[in-house]
Amino acid sequence: MNHKSFFWTVRYSLINISYFAAFCTVHAYAAVYLLANGFTNTQVGILLALANIISAVFQPLIAGVIDKPGPLTNRRFILISVVLILVGSVALLFFHESKIFIFIVYALIYLIQFSYQPVVLALCFEYQKAGCPIYFGLARGLGSASFAVTSAFVGGFVAKRGVNVLLFVNIVSMILSALIVFTFKKPGEEAGAVGNGEVLSSSDSKPAAHNNISDFAKTYPAFMLFLVGTICFFFAHNMINDFMIQIIRGLGGGEKELGYSNFLQAILELPVMALIGFVLKKIASRWMLVFSGAAFFVKMVVLMAAGNLAVYYFSQSFQLFAYAVFVPAAAYYVSETMEELDQVKGQAYITSAITIGGVFSNLISGVILDNLGITPMLLTGTIVCGLGVIIAFVAMKKLPHNTQNA
Q: CA-based angle 51:25:304, to the nearest 5?
A: 80
For the chain, the domains span 3-185+211-398
Q: What topology does CATH give the domain 3-185+211-398?
A: Growth Hormone; Chain: A; (1.20.1250)
Answer yes or no: are the C-beta atoms of 296 and 237 closer than 8 Å: yes
Gap between the Cα atoms of 228 and 232, Å rounded: 7
Q: What percent of the chain has pLDDT over 70?
A: 91
**pLDDT at residue 106, as a whole number:** 93
Gap between the Cα atoms of 402 and 406, Å rounded: 6
Strand partners, 209: none
Task: Name the pTM for this structure.
Answer: 0.73
Q: What are the phi and psi torsion angles at 69 (to 5°)?
A: -60, 135
**pLDDT at residue 99, as a whole number:** 86
> CA torsion, points 397, 401, 405, 406, in degrees to nearest 10?
30
The Cβ of residue 182 has, within 10 Å, a number of other Cβ atoms equal to: 13
pLDDT in tens, the chain (406 residues): 567 788 888 999 999 999 999 998 888 788 888 888 888 877 887 888 788 788 878 777 777 777 676 777 888 889 999 999 999 999 998 887 788 999 999 999 998 988 888 888 888 878 888 888 888 888 888 887 888 788 778 877 887 888 888 999 999 999 999 999 998 887 766 544 444 444 433 344 455 566 667 788 888 888 999 999 999 999 999 888 877 878 888 888 777 777 778 777 777 777 888 787 788 888 888 899 999 999 999 999 998 888 788 888 888 888 888 988 998 899 888 888 888 777 778 888 888 888 888 778 877 887 888 888 888 988 999 999 999 999 999 999 888 876 766 5
**pLDDT at residue 206, as a whole number:** 52
Task: Give 16-37 pLDDT, tens digit per residue.
Answer: 999 999 998 888 788 888 888 8
Instruction: Note the helical H segments in 130-220.
Output: 136-161, 164-182, 213-219
How buried is 159 (Cβ within 10 angstroms: 0-12 exposed, 13-18 middle, 19+ buried)?
middle
Nearest to residue 36, comparing CAs of 256, 255, 261? 255
How buried is 84 (Cβ within 10 angstroms: 0-12 exposed, 13-18 middle, 19+ buried)?
middle
The residues, ordered by sequence, that sit 6+ positions from 155 with a Cβ below 8 Å of its Cβ are: 255, 256, 257, 258, 259, 260, 262
**pLDDT at residue 13, as a whole number:** 92
The three-state secondary structure class of 194 is strand
Phi-psi region of 306 (alpha: psi -120 to 50; beta: other; left: phi over 0): beta
